[in-house]
């Protein structure tokens, strides 16, 4: 499904919707694999097909090449309609489903979904078996290294391997850590030695140099980038070209990103205040800590309308 050294754009709730992924596919084709943010499987019944399609993006679904390189991520709890949803995705001919085992949200974990499942191996195994028996195409998981601690880490890997999971993405933090400290790539290295399926390294890859280091240190099959891609959607190209950008080049890339994204969103009749809110979300991640960067970021975040934001770029 994906070659060695592939670059994955991480699923990110309220970011990686079909508009954003369309921009990435058009402007930053060095990303090899994309993912939609998670669809929460309900516990009251199965979503209508229309809703499943809308979450993924109808036009992306209609295009077999895009469909093949886009992961459909799911968030499930033991009570949810897992089997029926997977059967529906199979029938709709989706080629890649991923289970979210990293979401740290209190509400999600209270309902025994996301990272909570790493602490309940009986439920985890039952869920993986159900998914595997209902979906014949590519099935993967994306995990943190544990819920409160890492004591189940190796047993989780074994559950995945023994039950037909075909690739494992690892974010080197427990749920307890949220985003604190540094992601610990030792877990990724350990998993590479323990399992035969591809391991995708994730966590704190923000530059070409980081990408090089995680490949060298862990020998992982591929990497996935989240916040680093939010801040630098052009990062996959830098990694392929083996260089990080200079400050002036970053400024140019940033302007190009916002200009072309604005054009795309306007084309889809998105209203200006929604676009502004979305852009501020990106601006938060796009600047360094030096004085001029902080000043620029402050100006962008204070912009009261889209025009002002674009002029402040
Ligand atoms: C805004 C945001 C939304 C996220 N939404 C999801 C999601 O829908 N599914 C998921 O598996 N992980 C989600 N994550 C986690 C990322 O995919 C990734 O695992 C995490 O940010 C660590 O990687 P990074 O250091 O490259 O950001 C989200 C992260 C961020 C910052």
Q: What is the pLDDT of residue 29?
A: 98
Do 135 and 72 share a structural domain? Answer: yes
Do 293 and 184 share a structural domain? Answer: no
Q: In sequence order, what are the beta bridge partners of 141? A: 99, 168
Confidence of residue 64 (pLDDT cuts 50, 70, 90): very high
| Coarse DSSP helix, strand, coil percentages of the chain, rounded to the nearest 5 percent | 50, 15, 35
Q: What is the pLDDT of residues 78-113, one digit of tens each?
A: 999 999 999 999 999 999 999 999 999 999 999 999
Domain assignment present for 27 = yes
Do 176 and 159 share a structural domain? Answer: yes
Q: Which atom of ligand 1 is nearest to the CA of 204?
A: 25
Smallest Cα–Cα separation from 36: which of 89, 80, 105? Answer: 89
Q: What is the pLDDT of residues 248-290, one digit of tens each?
A: 999 999 999 999 999 999 999 999 999 999 999 999 999 988 9
What is the average pLDDT value for the chain, to the nearest integer?
Answer: 97
CA distance 124 to 297: 42
Task: Give nearest CA residue, ligand 1 atom 22.
Answer: 203
What is this structure's pTM? 0.98
Q: What is the pLDDT of residue 172?
A: 98
DSSP-assigned states of every residue in 208-222:
HHHHHHHHHHH--SE
Cβ–ligand 1 distance for 210 under 6 Å, the answer no
Q: What is the pLDDT of residues 236-256, one digit of tens each?
A: 999 999 999 999 999 999 999
The torsion angles phi and psi of 35, rounded to 5 degrees, stand at -145, 140
Do 278 and 148 share a structural domain? Answer: no
Q: What is the pLDDT of residue 251?
A: 94
Count of residues in the chain: 313
Confidence of residue 75 (pLDDT cuts 50, 70, 90): very high
Do 256 and 208 share a structural domain? Answer: no
Q: What is the pLDDT of residue 159?
A: 98
The first and second tokens of residue 251, run together, are 């400024």
Domain assignment present for 101 = yes
Do 293 and 178 share a structural domain? Answer: no
Helix (H, G, I), strand (E, B) or coil at 192: helix
Q: Distance from CA of residue 260 to its chain's centroid?
A: 22
**Mind telling me the catalytic residues?**
103
Considering 226, 241, 256, which residue would you say is the last residue of a domain? 241
Do 295 and 166 share a structural domain? Answer: no
Mean pLDDT calculated for residue range 120-142? 98
Of 7, 8, 9, 12, best ligand 1 pocket probe by most atoms within 8 Å of the beta carbon? 12
Domain assignment present for 1 = no
The number of folded domains in the chain is: 2
Cβ–ligand 1 distance for 7 under 6 Å, the answer no
Do 126 and 62 share a structural domain? Answer: yes
Mean pLDDT calculated for residue range 121-137? 98
Task: Give nearest CA residue, ligand 1 atom 13.
Answer: 12
Q: What is the Å distance from ligand 1's center to 11 Cα?
A: 6
Do 145 and 281 share a structural domain? Answer: no
Burial class (CB in 10 A: 0-12, 13-18, 19+), 93: exposed
Cβ–ligand 1 distance for 226 under 6 Å, the answer yes
Q: What is the pLDDT of residue 83?
A: 97
Do 210 and 102 share a structural domain? Answer: yes
Considering 241, 270, 286, which residue would you say is the last residue of a domain? 241
Domain assignment present for 52 = yes
The CATH number of whichever domain residue 125 belongs to comes to: 3.20.20.70
Q: What is the Å distance from ligand 1's center to 245 Cα?
A: 24
Question: Which domain, by its residues, includes 142?
Answer: 7-241
Q: What is the pLDDT of residue 160?
A: 98
Three-state helix/strand/coil letters over 242-267: CCCCCHHHHHHHHHHHHHHHHHHHHH
Cβ–ligand 1 distance for 113 under 6 Å, the answer no
Do 256 and 176 share a structural domain? Answer: no
CA distance 203 to 72: 20
Considering 241, 272, 298, which residue would you say is the last residue of a domain? 241
Q: What is the pLDDT of residue 117?
A: 98
Domain assignment present for 2 = no
The region, left, alpha or beta by phi > 0 then psi within -120 to 50, assigned to residue 204 is left
Helix (H) or strand (E) holding 77: none
Domain assignment present for 167 = yes
CA distance 33 to 1: 10
CB contact set of 288 (below 8 Å; sequence gap of 6+): none
CB contact set of 307 (below 8 Å; sequence gap of 6+): none
Do 125 and 71 share a structural domain? Answer: yes
Mean pLDDT calculated for residue range 216-231? 98
């Amino acid at each position: 499904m994906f070659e060695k050294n592939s670059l994955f754009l991480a699923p990110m709730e309220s970011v990686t919707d079909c508009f954003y992924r369309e921009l990435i596919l058009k402007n930053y084709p060095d990303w090899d694999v994309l993912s939609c943010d998670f669809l929460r499987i309900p516990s009251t019944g199965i979503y209508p097909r229309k809703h499943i399609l809308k979450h993924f993006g109808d036009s992306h679904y209609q295009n077999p090449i895009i469909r093949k390189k886009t992961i459909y991520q799911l968030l499930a709890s033991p009570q949810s309609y897992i089997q029926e949803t997977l059967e529906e995705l199979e029938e709709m001919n989706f080629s890649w489903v991923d289970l979210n085992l990293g979401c740290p949200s209190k509400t999600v974990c209270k309902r025994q979904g996301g990272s909570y499942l790493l602490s309940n191996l009986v439920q985890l195994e039952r869920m993986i078996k159900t998914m595997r028996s209902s979906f014949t195409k590519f099935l993967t998981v994306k995990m943190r290294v544990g819920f409160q601690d890492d004591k189940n880490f190796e047993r989780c890997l074994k559950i995945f391997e023994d039950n037909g999971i075909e690739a494992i993405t690892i974010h080197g933090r427990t749920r307890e850590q949220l985003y604190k400290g540094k992601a610990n790539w030792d877990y990724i290295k350990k998993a590479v030695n323990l399992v035969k399926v591809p391991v995708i390294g994730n966590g704190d890859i923000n530059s070409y140099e980081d990408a090089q280091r995680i490949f060298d240190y862990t020998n992982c099959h591929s990497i996935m980038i989240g916040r680093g891609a939010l801040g630098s959607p052009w990062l996959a190209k830098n990694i392929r070209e083996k260089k990080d950008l200079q400050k002036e080049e970053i400024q140019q890339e940033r302007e190009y990103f916002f200009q072309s994204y604005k054009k795309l969103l306007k084309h889809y009749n998105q209203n200006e205040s929604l676009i502004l809110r979305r852009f501020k979300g990106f601006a938060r991640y796009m600047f360094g800590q030096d004085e001029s960067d902080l000043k620029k970021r402050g100006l962008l975040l204070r912009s009261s309308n889209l025009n002002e934001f674009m002029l402040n770029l």
